[in-house]
Amino acid sequence: MITISELTYLIAGRTIFDEANATLMDGWKTGIIGENGAGKSTLFNLITGKLQADSGTIDRSTKARIGFVRQDMPDDDTTLLDIVLAADEERTELLKQSETETDPYKIAEIFTRLNDIDAYAAPAKASAILAGLGFKDEQLNDPISSFSGGWRMRVALASVLFQEPEILMLDEPTNHLDLEAIIWLENYLINYPNMLLLISHDRDLLNKCVDHILHVEKKKLTSYTGNYDTFERERAERMHHQQKLHEKQQAQRASMQEFVDRFKAKASKAKQAQSRMKALEKMDIVDAVIAEQARAFIFPQPEKMSPPVFSMDKIDIGYEEGNPVLKNVDERIDMDDRIALLGSNGNGKSTLIKLIAGRLKAMKGDVYKAPKLRIGYFSQHQAEEMDINSTPYEVMYEYMKGEPEHKIRGKLGMFGFGKELSDNKISDLSGGEKSRLLFALMSHDAPHLLLLDEPTNHLDIGAREALVQALNAYEGAVVIVSHDPSMLERVADQLWLVKDGEVNHYDGDLDSYRQLVIADKRQSAKEEKAEKVATSGKKKGLSKKEKRKLEAKKRQAFASLYKDIKSAEKLVEKLDNDKKELENMMENSEVYGDAGKMKLIQEDYAKITKDLENAEVQWANAQEVYDNTELLE
């Protein structure tokens, strides 16, 4: 349990928390939400002890291990697998002691403890987590130095998940993940056995993975039971109630003040007037609900163009130094297209966007671009290319040379930049403000086509909602790569699957794509298992009888894990049968004619579909750990 009492914390004289209170119970999965700059990451640092409160206390069990994603990943020849395994400090220390200890009793104690903590299954567990986060088997023994920053953050995330601490603290864990890795992480967190504290602006993740919300707002902490959608409803009701109470109180104050003003000079009413004045002074004033400032984005509308505005005729795309990343791409883009690119990282989504943006040339084939086509290209790395000592106004001035000041400031104002913020140095802007500046810059000339590569990474939930609304109001074409399923569902009307060197139209929706990812994962696990069994049989020359004995011995040695697999398998079978039964009921004409009954069945169907998806992933993950666990001779 974590108890926060009367917490006050200031940064450079600015109050972040003012006598804030909250209680988080063991086993809760809590989403920490609030606007950018509200103090969410500061709260994490106060809980871990990296920062000290100015007053108040944060109490938690001293025995509870806290796990958080480390930022200081090594840059050497240590392999990915070794980095993750080293995160379990107890196992690492015990294995080290086992190599040097000579006392037979202590050796026995060491190996007993190693057995108790499933130390010998650890490499398989670590491998499964890394695989879930997108690493291939052949990469697990590669040095960390050979991976980019985004992939290193995945290793850091894998390390803290491998520890399985009593308090798991994750700050925007999906920022460096693709949709495939997010699907795996969602199901991991849903089934996480201990306390989870999750800072996220991903509405989908918060709805699926948390059962409580801690809202950081106006220097206070407010707790809600339920997921993000429940929080939104309850908060709206609370704010409505607060506003009504404020209005009622103001009317009461006005009436009392009127009495005082009328009768304070009359001797017969003086005592009553004095009493009313004291009551007014003591009255606990309820604040009015101040509407949150709208942070609307407005993309300028382009003039219409005849289709297609862009087309690719059997082209190969790649980089000069290597083979094509994508082959034989044959697609077109029209002004009214809203296209989302699906596919795991490394399959070529960003490469395709760079080709469309003109930052890459086709290695083969023909590319058509409408003569007057203007393209706006957004990518997070562009923020690193800006002069941090310039101001947003100065940067936009360079883009719009010759235009009067009011037009330049008007363009910035379309993305929430008033004069004061426009004249701040870029180095002083938050991540979300830098993203909004990039949106302003890329759309300053009213492009016909917007290319958005992970546009939501630094945007809070309110800003994401504003971006969705702006894109839906925009009349040009959109091609988007995003790990935010909620955004893709609400913006895109076409899905292109970038996979295995090809670009193909995907006819399903995001839910069916999730099922495809799960099915691919299970198939890969089966193929890996078959290959390992075949290789093992060849190496050891085992007969079928000997293989059966070895498998039985493995089941006995890892009985708990095997039991989890069988339980998950039975659950999948049951839920699948329940789902089919509901499908049959929905096809029944009697049920179809009963709107009330049909609504209840549809609600049950939606719940079972979600439960089945989670159970299938849990089954696949358990099977993968078991398949990768080697039985020691």
Same domain, 237 and 216: no
Residue 160 in any domain: the answer is: no
The span from the CA of 16 to the CA of 8, in Å, is 7
- Whole-number pLDDT of residue 202: 86
Going from the C-alpha of 37 to that of each of 389, 419, 476, the distances in angstroms are: 21, 20, 33
Mean pLDDT for all residues in the chain? 82
- Whole-number pLDDT of residue 194: 92
| Structure tokens belonging to residue 586 | 């929905």
Same domain, 318 and 432: yes
The span from the CA of 78 to the CA of 80, in Å, is 7
Same domain, 426 and 570: no
Q: What is the pLDDT of residues 329-363, one digit of tens each?
A: 999 999 999 999 998 877 889 899 999 999 899 99
Which domain range does residue 375 map to?
310-505
4 contacts: CB under 8 Å, gap ≥ 6: 20, 21, 22, 23, 24, 56, 57, 58, 221
Same domain, 437 and 486: yes
- Whether 258 has a pLDDT exceeding 90, the answer reads no
Residue 288 in any domain: the answer is: no
Sequence letter at residue 185: L
Residue 294 in any domain: the answer is: no
The span from the CA of 268 to the CA of 262, in Å, is 12
Residue 303 in any domain: the answer is: no
Query: By percentage, how much of the chain surpasses pLDDT 90?
Result: 29
Same domain, 255 and 363: no
Residue 633 in any domain: the answer is: no
How many other CB atoms are found less than 10 A from the CB of residue 57?
Answer: 10
Residue 382 in any domain: the answer is: yes
Among 119, 151, 183, give the residue marking a domain's end. 151
Q: What is the pLDDT of residues 73-116, one digit of tens each?
A: 778 888 999 999 988 888 888 888 888 888 878 888 888 888 77
The span from the CA of 401 to the CA of 268, in Å, is 75
The span from the CA of 519 to the CA of 620, in Å, is 9
Same domain, 203 and 55: yes
Same domain, 406 and 501: yes
Domain harbouring 424, CATH code:
3.40.50.300
- The model's confidence at residue 309, banded by pLDDT at 50, 70 and 90, is very high
Q: Which residue has the higher pLDDT, 248 or 413?
A: 413
- The model's confidence at residue 293, banded by pLDDT at 50, 70 and 90, is very low
The answer to whether 565 and 572 are in contact (CB under 8 A) is no
Same domain, 604 and 552: yes
The span from the CA of 303 to the CA of 301, in Å, is 7
| Structure tokens belonging to residue 182 | 């997010």
Same domain, 271 and 348: no
Among 242, 262, 282, give the residue marking a domain's end. 282
Backbone region of residue 449 per phi and psi (left: phi > 0; alpha: psi in -120 to 50; beta: other values): beta
- Whether 291 has a pLDDT exceeding 60, the answer reads no
User: Is the Cα dihedral 320, 324, 326, 332 positive or negative?
Assistant: positive
- Whether 402 has a pLDDT exceeding 70, the answer reads yes
Residue 1 in any domain: the answer is: yes
- Whole-number pLDDT of residue 593: 64
Which pTM was predicted?
0.68
Same domain, 131 and 216: no
- Whole-number pLDDT of residue 617: 67
Residue 98 in any domain: the answer is: yes
Same domain, 213 and 240: no
Mean pLDDT of 10-34: 90
Same domain, 339 and 207: no
Among 226, 242, 258, give the residue marking a domain's end. 226
The answer to whether 483 and 174 are in contact (CB under 8 A) is yes
Look at the chain and report how many structural domains it folds into.
5
